[in-house]
Amino acid sequence: MTLLTLTVNGKSVTREVPPQTLLVEFIRQHLELTGTHVGCDTGQCGACTVHIDGKAVKSCSMLAVHAQGAALTTIEGVAAADGAMHPMQAAFNQCHGLQCGFCTPGMVMSSIDLVQNHDCSNEAKIREALEGNLCRCTGYQNIVKAVQQGAAAMKS
């Protein structure tokens, strides 16, 4: 067992975990934060995307012990302290950027990272940046609109 200490959604967390535990398993099973979804187990679908020290990471392809000392943010941690949705969450809701909702937590986390750390100046750049997140329901048009609206709200 390995003692793992990190900050999760602003709170210090310490747990003993087997060294081979994937970060997504740690999040879902040890912390019981089930908003982070397991889709493909290969890093292809993006449903498990979280932020480590402010950068989007696919948690199914990272060992939990590699997050030692990091700041981890899951979909549960992006809303405001008063419960108000993050601007990107609100945009996905308002633009109907979801249908079944399975990919939505990963899409939102990737979209926040896109706005904060990358170029999202046009539709082509948004589509390119979200290539690592698969949605089987929407056709992506409303997701792109949601990212554009969320980006505008985040920058204002």
The answer to whether position 81 is within a domain reads no
**pLDDT per position as a tens digit, 8-33:** 999 999 999 999 999 999 999 999 99
Is 71 in the same domain as 6?
yes
Domain boundary among 75, 96, 125: 75
User: Which residue range forms the structural domain that includes residue 102?
Assistant: 87-155
Is 70 in the same domain as 6?
yes
Res 152 pLDDT > 90: yes
Q: How confident is the model at residue 138 (pLDDT cuts 50, 70, 90)?
A: confident
Tokens matching residue 121: 């100046």
- Position 53 scores a pLDDT of 98
**pLDDT per position as a tens digit, 80-124:** 999 999 999 999 999 999 989 999 999 999 999 999 999 888 999
Task: Confirm if 78 and 10 have CB atoms less than 8 A apart.
Answer: no
- Residue 50's H or E segment, with its range, is strand 49-52
The answer to whether position 112 is within a domain reads yes
The beta-carbon contacts of 76-84 under 8 Å, at least 24 apart in sequence, are 76/9, 76/33, 76/35, 77/8, 77/9, 77/10, 78/108, 78/109, 78/112
Is 65 in the same domain as 41?
yes
- Position 129 scores a pLDDT of 93
pLDDT-above-70 percentage for the chain: 100
- Position 134 scores a pLDDT of 94
- Whichever domain contains 66, its CATH number is 3.10.20.30
What is residue 44's DSSP assignment? S
What is residue 108's DSSP assignment? H
Is 53 in the same domain as 16?
yes
CA distance 105 to 30: 19
Task: Confirm if 106 and 97 have CB atoms less than 8 A apart.
Answer: no
Is 28 in the same domain as 58?
yes
- Whichever domain contains 103, its CATH number is 1.10.150.120
Which pTM was predicted? Answer: 0.96
Q: DSSP secondary structure string, 2-25? A: EEEEEEETTEEEEEEE-TT-BHHH
The answer to whether position 80 is within a domain reads no
**pLDDT per position as a tens digit, 40-89:** 888 899 999 999 999 999 999 999 999 999 999 999 999 999 999 999 99
Q: Which residues pair with 2 in a beta bridge?
A: 17
Is 61 in the same domain as 41?
yes
Query: How many domains is the chain partitioned into structurally?
Result: 2
The answer to whether position 59 is within a domain reads yes
